[in-house]
Amino acid sequence: MPAQPWEFGPVGDSAWRHLPEAREEIKDLVCTELQDAIDEDRAPEPVDQHNYALHAVGPLVRDLGLVELDLDLVRRFCLFCRDLLGYTGPDEYEVSHVLGMYVLDGLDGPPVVRVIRQVDPGLIELVRARFPGMWAEE
């Protein structure tokens, strides 16, 4: 039987796919869980989705509004957001909550809206539709 690909859940999978800079932190989160499971003599559990958002994605996008920022990172961040906004799995509410609270919250100032508008103007409307009041006009 062929091996199945490793899954980190919707937030972790999208971060792995679009934000390779986050992979070391994703690895650390998974390794920490494996070590905790060994130490506590229990089966390993999936890493909570908010941990991927807080520790792997958050540090990469904290300064999205900076003019000097690499627009390629912004483009890939937009793809990450679109993945999560379009997610329709059984934990859809949790994924939406993680995106809103642990990724987008605090990234809605005018500098961020300007840089997102340069790269993916349609994303602004998607975010506003899902999270009213977020990414308001400048």
Q: Which helix (H) or strand (E) holds 18?
A: helix 9-18
pLDDT of residue 110: 82
d(CA 90, CA 50) in angstroms, rounded, equals 16
CA gap 23, 108 in Å, rounded: 25
pLDDT (tens digit per residue) in 3-59: 778 899 999 999 999 999 999 999 999 999 999 999 999 999 999 999 999 999 999
CA atoms within 13 A on the CB side of 121: 2
- CA 78, CA 52: separation in Å to the nearest integer? 16
Distances (CA, A) of 104 to 27, 55, 134: 23, 14, 8
Length of the chain: 138
Give the residue carrying structure tokens 């993680």.
98
pLDDT, tens digit, for every residue of 87-138?
Answer: 999 999 999 999 999 999 888 778 888 889 889 999 999 999 999 988 876 5
Cβ partners under 8 Å of residue 56, min gap 6: 12, 15, 19, 22, 25, 26, 29
CB atoms within 10 A of CB 17: 13
